[in-house]
Amino acid sequence: MSLTEDLNKFYVTTPIYYVNDVPHIGHAYTTVAADILARYNRLKGKKVFFLTGTDEHGQKVEKAAQEKGKTPQEHSDLMVENFKSLWQALNISNDAFIRTTDVDHIKTVQGIIQMLWDAGEIKKRQYSGWYCTPDERFWTEKEIVEGNCPDCGRPVEEIKEENYFFLMSKYQVRLINYIEDNPDYILPETRRNEVLGFLKNNELGDLCITRPKARLSWGVPIPFDQDFVTYVWFDALLNYFSATRYLAPEAEQAKLGDFWWPANHHIVGKDILTTHAVYWSTMLMALKFPLPDNIFAHGWWTVEGKKMSKSLGNVIDPAQIAEEYGRDAFRYFIFREVPFGLDGDFSEEAMAKRINTDLANDIGNLLSRTTKMIEKYRGGAVPEPVILKDRDLEKKLKAWFDNGSDTGIFKTYDAFLSKLQFNHALTHLWKIISEINEYIAASEPWKEKDDEMLSNILYTLAESQRILALYIFPYMPDTANKIWQHLGHDEDISTVNISKAGAWGGTTAGTKVQKGDPLFPRIDLKQKFKKDKASGTDKTEKLAPKPAAAKGSAPSSQEGPVDNLITINEFAKVELKVGKVLEAERVEGSNKLIKLQVDTGETRQIVAGIGKEYSPEDLTGKKIIVVTNLKPAKLMGVESRGMLLAATDSDGVLSILTPEKEIKQGASIK
């Protein structure tokens, strides 16, 4: 059982961001994730402490400040505002913002390093190693790659000096056991296995936690040797603890002492998992502090399969996207599109499409149809339901909202969010939305002659969306509140308790609905993306991937027919065959493309954009359907001769088509 499960508190953290980077989609991703969890747990009635902040010590900041003719403190004071204003723009509800230059943080770090020194957990040693300044960390001779950092690829410099070391190595076995005994400690499972693999196959070294002041002064002075400072990976990690001492909600802190520690979730990117899973965990062991319940490592965002970088000019500015498309749409998209542990590829066009389908259509239209019908048939007041009139149609829909049931909205959503499966929770909500849409189609209120039955239908529609808004709230707070306003509820959702407000029957008969502006205005995709391309000013040409309908390589582009009907002769031109996948591997540098060797009677190479949904191992040996008479095309420089068939539904689920029974490869499809 988790340590914090039975306490009515929820403590979630983001990494603290280096001040000298401008915030981008990667920073926004973690912070919105933490925000979703924080908002949801507040709805559940938990006492929540949501912490984010900035990491301000170290050589990088010192250098950047020097270049600008500023002190590191002045430089940090300026840069920190970029983060603070972005969090406001994205509607982030953090309870505190920690800066590692806060006096109280520094005091806590000094107290803790002294404790470890007194306990014999720290030793002074001569040290030589290869240092990567951008990552603020040392590498061994074996680890570096041709003079470069194995992580970021930038040059490393050799440094020899005396330093203080945290004796991390002695905790190796204990850490392995801890991770093995606590399956949810590191998630997702693939990352947990990576950490375990690393710990089992390598000898853990000790951790260098200081710098001589002579070389780096921008750190926390250590109390037992005035010539040294500690910084980044010691000072920074301790923020999670120090904040509970001086930034956590005061009353709680005073009353409950250690109430906030340990954290429920540390959310981090996959690149800084080792520092958290290994350095931080062993530091806590040495301090005899409890370990957090969970460290979750999310994937990275690329843009068109490439790492974001200033030099490529493809850095996505979340503030600009939120400004253009709405902050809720952005928050929705980044969590709907990609499972949290996996890498994702950002595309503005894909986002615009989702806004039109999932937001403007599925939910926006549903709400406006509902309020319009209530206006038309009941003068704008939600009618009294006549539950005795419930048919199977109503019963089926209401079953989704049965909080006692394991398949009801609360338990399902709660289970997904407790594992940080943000996209699954959204898929579930959208399944319910489509059920409500189907309910309208099936119940045909516009034809209903029985007055009581019509009242029942209208109530069912209003009430189901009222409840749904509660679950939408953590992801899209503005939208959820608008749904409530349209349905006649004035309360701010952030103040309600989900178990009470989420129970069926919360709408009082007579509540006046308000037909407001559409929740999400539709985007004219053709005009927007065509115009942008023609003007050559917009990033969309660069950002938007080819439409996802056909997942294999496409022939050179052709204008589509005016209508979508083709003759049988036209169809007969397409040569389709059953193929067997002999080999599969990822195309280097792409997280979407997989290169397949397929036997269709002859062996051919196909490149398919299915790498997010399928791994090469899933594919080897599979029988698939292949278009064999496509003109060869190159994808990321790799030749593709043909295209495999796959279907994608409105939830974005992608499935490869396979023959229904065993059939020889090469068989033709007619």
User: Least Å distance between CB 403 and ligand MSP?
Assistant: 35
Among 138, 241, 301, 459, binds ligand MSP (CB under 6 A): 301
237 binds ligand MSP, rule: CB under 6 A? yes
User: 559 by DSSP, 3-state: which?
Assistant: coil
Q: How far is CA 116 from the centre of its chain?
A: 36
Q: Kindly tell me which of 243 and 496 has the beta carbon lying closer to ligand MSP.
A: 243
Q: Kindly tell me which of 19 and 367 has the beta carbon lying closer to ligand MSP.
A: 19
Say how far apart CA 584 and CA 622 lie, in whole Å: 10
Q: Kindly tell me which of 16 and 79 has the beta carbon lying closer to ligand MSP.
A: 16
Q: Write down how long the chain is.
A: 670
Q: What is the DSSP string of 239-280?
A: HHHHHHHHTS-HHHHHHHTTSSPSPSEEEEEGGGHHIIIIII
Query: 227 and 214 in contact (C-beta within 8 Å)?
Result: yes
Among 77, 271, 304, 541, binds ligand MSP (CB under 6 A): 271
53 binds ligand MSP, rule: CB under 6 A? no
Among 10, 12, 15, 641, binds ligand MSP (CB under 6 A): 15
Q: Kindly tell me which of 335 and 471 has the beta carbon lying closer to ligand MSP.
A: 335
477 binds ligand MSP, rule: CB under 6 A? no
Q: Where does this chain touch ligand MSP (CB under 6 A) — which range of 22-30, 84-92, 572-580, 611-619? A: 22-30
Among 10, 29, 97, 130, binds ligand MSP (CB under 6 A): 29
17 binds ligand MSP, rule: CB under 6 A? yes
27 binds ligand MSP, rule: CB under 6 A? yes
| Distance (Å) of CA 257 to CA 196, 244, 252, 304, 500 | 34, 9, 8, 48, 30
610 binds ligand MSP, rule: CB under 6 A? no
Say how far apart CA 377 and CA 366 lie, in whole Å: 16
55 binds ligand MSP, rule: CB under 6 A? yes
Q: Which of residues 302-321 bind ligand MSP (CB under 6 A)?
A: 308
Question: What sign has the CA pseudo-torsion 323, 324, 329, 331?
Answer: negative
236 binds ligand MSP, rule: CB under 6 A? yes
User: Least Å distance between CB 154 and ligand MSP?
Assistant: 13
Q: Kindly tell me which of 342 and 525 has the beta carbon lying closer to ligand MSP.
A: 342
Q: Kindly tell me which of 234 and 325 has the beta carbon lying closer to ligand MSP.
A: 234
Tokens of 48: 């929540």
User: Least Å distance between CB 573 and ligand MSP?
Assistant: 43
- Residue 581: enclosing H or E segment and its boundaries? strand 576-586
Q: Kindly tell me which of 302 and 370 has the beta carbon lying closer to ligand MSP.
A: 302
User: Least Å distance between CB 21 and ligand MSP?
Assistant: 5
**Strands, DSSP E only, in 8-88?**
9-18, 47-55
Q: Kindly tell me which of 240 and 484 has the beta carbon lying closer to ligand MSP.
A: 240
Q: Kindly tell me which of 345 and 599 has the beta carbon lying closer to ligand MSP.
A: 345
Residue 188 preceded by cis peptide, ω within 30: yes
Query: 354 and 337 in contact (C-beta within 8 Å)?
Result: yes
How large is the angle between the packed helices 366-378 and 451-472, nearest 10 degrees?
150
16 binds ligand MSP, rule: CB under 6 A? yes
| Distance (Å) of CA 521 to CA 47, 340, 525, 526 | 36, 28, 12, 15
Q: Where does this chain touch ligand MSP (CB under 6 A) — which range of 16-24, 106-114, 326-334, 656-664? A: 16-24
Among 43, 116, 132, 268, binds ligand MSP (CB under 6 A): 268
- Cβ of 424: how many Cβ atoms within 10 Å? 17
Q: Which residue is nearest to ligand MSP (CB)?
A: 269
Q: Kindly tell me which of 23 and 488 has the beta carbon lying closer to ligand MSP.
A: 23
Q: Which residues contact 147 (CB under 8 A, 6 or more apart)?
A: 155, 156
User: Least Å distance between CB 28 and ligand MSP?
Assistant: 9
Number of residues counted as binding ligand MSP (CB under 6 A): 20
Q: Where does this chain touch ligand MSP (CB under 6 A) — which range of 232-240, 457-465, 596-604, 659-667? A: 232-240
User: Least Å distance between CB 281 and ligand MSP?
Assistant: 13
Q: Where does this chain touch ligand MSP (CB under 6 A) — which range of 18-26, 35-43, 250-258, 598-606? A: 18-26
Question: What sign has the CA pseudo-torsion 53, 56, 60, 66?
Answer: positive
Tokens of 12: 């979630």
633 binds ligand MSP, rule: CB under 6 A? no
Say how far apart CA 37 and CA 474 lie, in whole Å: 7
Q: Where does this chain touch ligand MSP (CB under 6 A) — which range of 19-27, 524-532, 540-548, 576-584? A: 19-27
| Distance (Å) of CA 572 to CA 223, 627, 629 | 81, 12, 11
Q: Which residues contact 135 (CB under 8 A, 6 or more apart)?
A: 149, 151, 152
User: Least Å distance between CB 275 and ligand MSP?
Assistant: 7
Say how far apart CA 278 and CA 265 lie, in whole Å: 16
Q: Where does this chain touch ligand MSP (CB under 6 A) — which range of 12-20, 514-522, 549-557, 588-596? A: 12-20
Q: Cβ-count burial of 58 within 10 angstroms (0-12 exposed, 13-18 middle, 19+ buried)?
A: buried
- Cβ of 575: how many Cβ atoms within 10 Å? 15
Which residues here bind ligand MSP, judged by CB under 6 A?
A: 15-18, 21, 26-27, 29-30, 55, 236-237, 239, 268-269, 271-272, 300-301, 308
